[in-house]
Structure 1
Amino acid sequence: MPEYRRILLDGAVTRVRRDGSTLVSPDGRTTGLDAIHLPPCEPTKIIAVHLNHRSRVAEFQARLPAAPTYFHKPTSALNAHGGAVVRPAGCRFLNYEGEVAIVIGRTARGITPAQAGAHIAGYTIANDFGLHDFRDTDAGSMLRVKGSDTLCPLGPGLVDDWDFRGKRIRTYVNGAVAQDGSTDEMTWDMHYLVADIARTITLNPGDVLLSGTPAHSRPVEPGDAVEVEVEGLGILTSHVVEGPVPVPAEYGAQPTASDEVVSTALGGDWEHRGTR
C-alpha cells in the first residue's frame, strides 16, 4: 500500500513517498523517518463524528441517534507526527482519542455510500484531543473543547488502497495500552460518513473526516507521550506540554471541573473523580 508524507526537506515543504525506512522525494533525494513532519494533507475543513464506536457508546451508557452527529475542528488545530500538544496552563482535562482519519481526494457532493470510495484519497491516523475543561460552555459546538490550537495531530502519512475493515486501533500513553479497539466497532463506516456529510456540505480534496474513537479516552499530563497505532497505517506520536500562559481570567468562559466535565473526561468513571 503506497504511503505518502509531507515533510520539511532542506527547508521546503515536500511530498515524499515512504520506501521502508527511507523517505524519497520526487527528485530522488532521500531522508529518514525522523524528518520534520507536517500534516499529510491540507484540509479546508475538519469534520468529526461524535459517538460511533460501540465500546464508547457502552462506556457512557449512551443511546445512539438514528444517524451520526458531527462537530467541527478548525484547521488552526492541525498538528503533525512528532508534534507537541499544548494543554493551556490552568487546565486539567486534556484527553486523547485515537482514531482513523478519512482524507478526501476528489470533490464530493450528493454522492451515495457506494460512490464514496472513489472520492477518498486515502487514510491517516488522528488523535482527536479534547480539552474538556471547556465542556460546560462549549458542549454543543465543542469549539474550544476540540478546536483549540494543536489538538488535531494527523499522520504520519497518507495511505491509499487501505481496506478499513477489521483494523485494530490502539492508543498508548507512555508505552502502556490505553485504548484497544477495532474499526469493526463502528456503527457507521467510512463510506457512510463521507456520503452523509456530502449530502449538504461539499467536501474538497484534502478535507478530513474523523471517524470516532473506541472506549477509554482519559486525561493526559504534560510530559506524557501518546501514540496511536492503526493496523496498516502506522503510528502517530505526540507529546503533551503545558502552555506557559494561562487562559485569561478577565474575560470569557473559564475552565471548570464540574461533574459533567469530570465524568466526561474520565469516561463516566465516577469512582475516581478528581484523579488522573
Structure 2
Amino acid sequence: MRETRRILLDGNPVDVVRQGETLVAGDGRTVAIADAHHLPPVTPSKIICVHLNYISRVKEMQTTLPPAPTYFHKPVSALNSHDAAVVRPDGCSWLNYEGEIAIVIGRTARNISPAEAGDYIRGFTVANDYGLHDFRDTDSGSMLRVKGADTLCPVGPGVVEGWDFRGKQIRTLVNGEVRQDGNTDEMEWDMHYLVADIARTITLQPGDLLLSGTPAISRTVYPGDVVEVEVEGLGTLRNHIVTGPTPIRTDVGAQVTESEEVLSTAQGGDWEFRGIRKPQPAAH
C-alpha cells in the first residue's frame, strides 16, 4: 500500500509520501508526521454522500433500506483536514459526528459497471460527515444546511492506495472513548457499487469524494471535544470542536429548531428516556 498526503511545507501546499513516521516531498524535503500541518489530501470537484448503508445504523434508526442507495451533496466549501477545527456555529446546539470511509476517484468515470469500478478508484481516506441537526426540520430532504456548513467535511490524513475495503473495522472516539464501532462488511452496497451507481448519470472526476455511510451511534459533540475516526489500514482522522464567533443570523432564512425529530436524530431514538446533555456556553 502507498499513502500520500498534502501538507503545508515552508508556506506552500506540497504532496508528500508517507515513509513510517516521516513525510517525504518530491524534492527530498522531509517532515515528521507529528510536526506536519495537514491539508485536505485531495481537491474534489464534488463530494457525494450516501444516506444509509451500514446495517447497524439502519437497525438503530428502526427503518429499512430502499431498493437502491440514496445520496446527498456536501459543498466543496465544507472540506476540512486532519487536526483542524470543526466549527459549530454560534446559536447551534446539535452537531453530530459520523465516522466514514471516503472513496477517492482516480480516473474520469462515466457509465461503468461495478466490476469495472475498482479501476477508477485511486484509493481511500478517512472522513467525518458532521451534521448540524438544528436545521433538520427545514433541510431533511436536501441536507444542505444540515451537512454543508463550512468545516463539516474533514478528510484525511492521507489517501491510501492498494487498500482492500472488505472486512475492515471503523471506529469513532470522542475524548478517547469509543462511540462507534463497526465493520465494512455491514455495508449493504460496497464501494464499487456506489461508484458505478453515481457514474451512471454523473461524471466523476479525479479527486472526487464519495462518502460511503456510517455505522450506528452518531451522537452530539460539543466545543472542546476531540473526535477521532479510526479505520483499519487507513489511519486516524482527528479534529476538535470549536464555537464559531459569529451567531447564525435571525433576519433571514429558516431558523434552528429543537423538535422531536431534531432531538431524536441527534441523541438517538431513546433520547426521551435519557438525560440529554445540553450544550454549555463557550468559554471566553
**Under TM normalisation by the shorter chain, which class is it?**
over 0.9
Paired with 2:207 and 2:248, the residues of 1 have a C-alpha distance of 32
- Does structure 1 residue 31 correspond to structure 2 residue 31? yes
Residue 221 of structure 2 aligns with an amino acid whose one-letter code is V
**CA shift for structure 1 position 245:** 1.2
- Structure 2 residues not aligned, in runs of 5+: 279-284
**What letter is aligned with 1:139?**
S
Query: Contact (CA 8 Å) 2:267, 2:276: kept in 1 or not?
Result: no
Between the aligned partners of 1:76 and 1:38, the Cα distance in structure 2 is 14
Following the alignment from structure 1 to structure 2, what is the Cα–Cα distance between the partners of residues 269 and 196?
Answer: 34
Query: Which residue number in structure 1 is paired with residue 277 of structure 2?
Result: 275
1:238 aligns with 2:224: no
Structure 1 position 226 matched with structure 2 position 247: no
Deviations, residues 166-219 of structure 1 (Å, cap 9, x unaligned):
000000000000100000000000000000000000000000000000000000
Match of 2:88 in 1: 87
The CA RMSD over aligned residues, in Å, is 0.8
Instruction: Report how far residue 90 of structure 1 moved.
Output: 1.2
Partner AA of 2:6 in structure 1: R
Show the counterpart of 1:51: 52
Structure 1 stretches of 4+ moved >2 Å: 272-276
Q: Deviations over 1:234-253 (max 9, x none)?
A: 00000000011110111111
SS of residue paired to 1:68 = coil
Counterparts of 2:103 and 2:15, CA distance in 1: 18
2:281 alignment counterpart: none
The answer to whether the Cα contact below 8 Å between 2:49 and 2:212 also exists between their aligned partners in 1 is yes
Taking the aligned partners of 2:71 and 2:243, their CA distance within structure 1 comes to: 28
Find the residue that maps to 2:92 and give its secondary structure.
Answer: coil
Supply the distance in 1 between the matched residues of 2:153 and 2:24 (Cα, whole angstroms). 26
Preserved CA contact (<8 Å) 1:95 1:131? yes
Distance in structure 1 (CA, Å) of the matches to 2:225 and 2:24: 31
Aligned residue identity for 2:5: R
The residue number in structure 2 matching 1:185 is: 186
Q: 1:272: Cα distance to partner?
A: 2.4
Q: Distance in 2 between matches of 1:169 and 1:134?
A: 27
Aligned to 1:15: 15
| SS class of match (2:192) | helix
- SS of 2:179 mapped into structure 1: strand
How many angstroms apart in 2 are the aligned matches of 1:8 and 1:107? 27
Paired amino acid for 1:232:
G
Residue in 2 aligned with 1:212?
213
| Matches of 2:168 and 2:57, distance apart in 1 | 17
SS of 1:254's partner is: coil
Please tell me whether the aligned partners of residues 169 and 181 of structure 2 are also in contact (alpha carbons under 8 angstroms): yes
* Letter in structure 2 aligned against 1:176: E
CA distance in 1, matches of 2:107, 2:268: 37
CA–CA separation in structure 2 for the residues paired with 1:89 and 1:213: 26
Query: Cα deviation per residue 1:10-63 (whole Å; 9 max; x = unaligned)?
Result: 111100000000000001100011311111111000000000000000000011
Per-residue deviation, 1:273: 6.3
CA contact (8 A) 2:171 2:178 kept: yes
Aligned to 2:66: 65
Q: Could you say which residue in structure 1 is the equivalent of 2:282?
A: none
- Shift in Å at residue 275 of structure 1? 3.0
Q: Is the 8 A contact 2:97 2:128 kept in 1?
A: yes
1:253 maps to 254
**Stretch moving more, 245-254 or 39-48:** 245-254
In 2, the alpha carbon distance for the partners of 1:160 and 1:92 equals 37
Q: How does 1:131-142 map to 2 (within 5 A)?
A: 131-142=132-143
TM-score (norm 1): 0.99
Equivalent pairs: percent with the same residue?
Answer: 70
The number of residue pairs the alignment matches comes to 276
Counterpart of 1:78 in structure 2 is 79
Deviation at 1:267, TM superposition (A): 2.1
In the alignment, what sits opposite 2:105?
Answer: 104
Q: Tell me which residue corresponds to 2:120.
A: 119
Contact 1:123–1:158, Cα closer than 8 Å, also in 2: yes
- SS of the residue 1:195 aligns to: helix
Deviation per CA, 1:115-156: give whole Å up to 9, x if none: 000000000000000000000000000001001000000000
CA contact (8 A) 1:262 1:273 kept: no
